[in-house]
């Protein structure tokens, strides 16, 4: 059981260095204690996750548009493996088209983030996402119907 004292382990895969820095800065300002692991592309992320010895992280922030293995490829691979069924996946993308959002959820994502373009909004979004994810983890809410679009 997760208590508020356990650090939340957050993964982030994004090919843009500036975005990675923004995310880590925003996470550093969270009230919840957290640990972040960064990946610069989909391959690096999947290599990490494929190691059966890792402790399961709580949430993965995944950029949809990465060269090589895209975010959507990673999403499909992760959701095809039942080992990751407790891992929440937050996709972020520049699209806010309903079709893209729907497709991402059908593909097994839990959270869809329309990437905000200013830093203070990004911080707020990340805070909301980590918070809602924590509510799902700590209150036994149904993962099958955990969809959250922001």
Query: Which residues lie near another protein (CB under 8 A)?
Result: 1, 3-4, 31-32, 98, 101-102, 105-106, 108, 112, 131, 134-135, 138-142, 145, 147-150
CB 78 within 8 A of CB 115: no
Region at 104 (left for phi over 0; alpha for psi -120 to 50; beta for the rest): alpha
Smallest distance from the beta carbon of 32 to another protein, in angstroms?
Answer: 7
Q: Is 60 helix (H, G, I), strand (E, B) or coil?
A: strand
- Nearest distance, CB of residue 123 and another protein, angstroms: 15
Nearer to another protein, 84 or 148 (CB): 148
Element (H, E) at 17: helix 17-28
Residue 53 or residue 98: which is nearer to another protein going by CB?
98
As a whole number of angstroms, the distance between CA 100 and CA 103 comes to 5
Contact between 49 and 37 under an 8 Å Cβ cutoff? The reply is: no
CB of 118 to another protein, least distance (A): 19
Q: Identify which of residues 95 and 149 has a Cβ nearer to another protein in the complex.
A: 149
């Amino acid at each position: 059981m997760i208590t508020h004292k356990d650090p939340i382990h957050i993964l982030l895969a994004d090919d843009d260095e500036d975005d990675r820095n923004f995310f880590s800065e925003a996470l550093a300002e969270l009230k919840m204690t957290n640990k972040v692991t960064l990946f610069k592309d989909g391959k690096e992320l999947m290599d990490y996750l494929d190691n059966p010895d890792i402790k399961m992280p709580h949430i993965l922030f995944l950029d949809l548009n990465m060269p090589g293995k895209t975010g959507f490829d990673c999403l499909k691979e992760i959701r095809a493996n039942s080992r990751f069924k407790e891992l929440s996946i937050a996709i972020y993308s520049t699209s806010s088209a309903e079709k893209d959002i729907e497709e991402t959820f059908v593909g097994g994502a839990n959270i869809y983030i329309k990437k905000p373009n200013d830093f203070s909004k990004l911080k707020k979004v990340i805070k909301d996402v980590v918070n809602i994810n924590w509510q799902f983890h700590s209150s036994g809410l149904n993962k099958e119907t955990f969809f959250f679009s922001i």
